Amino acid sequence: MFSAAVVYARQGSNATLSWRLPQPAVREFTVRRFSSDILFHVTNYNKVDITRTYRTRAEFTGNIDSSGSGVFSFLLYDVVWNSDRGVYRCYRGSPGSRGDQMSDCGQVLDVIRCGGRCTGSSGSISSPNYPGNYGNYLICSYVIDAGETLITLVFEDFSTQSWYDVVKVYDASNNLLVHLSGDRGGYTVQSAIYYRVVFTTSPRGVRKGFKAVWTGM
């Protein structure tokens, strides 16, 4: 089973993916997105070629020695949600051979289409297009950093499709503080100096979303 740390990048920004090549070394392999889109072709352990489709959008930044050991990393420019997000894996052999998947070789890229970073002891955030309906397939991440000031976050208005469209709030230690879905207007999150609010939506339907405000204590 493939598992790897997730890299997050905002749509339109650049993303760096990186992993240490597994041993024993493989003389020839390809790096693919979702097992179909081919980005890189590696031969003779350490010769790296970028495929034509990605030649203007990707740059190999890794360091592979002559034995095939080292770090495989690359920079992907101007990432787009529908064409760049996904699982990047390594497969033995040439692009045409479609060999076996290599274990512990690859990474996951998640492209964030909405959200942002906020600072200060007071402010507000809202879902995309609020109070109009939000869209499907969203992954929005909002960071609220109040420095040393203790703040309280209140969802003044909250209406999402129950079970499917969810808001999760985390603290600075990545502890889950609350999981919200449905109609939860007026909900108050426990006080903190930092919040990370993640809003995800499904393909099933839309509602107006949320507005949240925070104030210092």
The CATH number of whichever domain residue 49 belongs to comes to: 2.60.40.10
Residue 3 has what pLDDT? 64
Domain boundary among 112, 145, 166: 112
| In-domain check, residue 150 | yes
Residue 80 has what pLDDT? 86
Residue 77 has what pLDDT? 95
Domain boundary among 73, 92, 112: 112
Co-location of 61 and 157 in the same domain: no
Percent of the chain exceeding pLDDT 70 equals 99
Q: Is the dihedral of CA 64, 5, 13, 195 positive or negative?
A: negative
Co-location of 199 and 118 in the same domain: yes
Least confident of 45-54, 68-77, 88-97, 135-144: 135-144
Indicate the pLDDT class of residue 40, thresholds 50, 70 and 90.
very high
Task: Give per-residue pLDDT as tens, 181-194.
Answer: 999 999 999 999 99
Residue 138: both structure tokens together: 């969203």
Spatial distance between the Cα atoms of 38 and 178, rounded to a whole number of angstroms: 40
Residue 31 has what pLDDT? 97
Cβ 212 vs Cβ 129: under 8 Å = no
Indicate the pLDDT class of residue 10, thresholds 50, 70 and 90.
confident
Q: Rounded to whole angstroms, what are the CA distances from 73 to 66, 105, 211?
A: 16, 11, 39
Residue 2 has what pLDDT? 60
| In-domain check, residue 24 | yes
Q: Which has the closest alpha carbon to 118: 213, 21, 10, 15? A: 213
| In-domain check, residue 1 | no
Range of the domain at 21: 6-112
Co-location of 124 and 33 in the same domain: no
Residue 47 has what pLDDT? 97
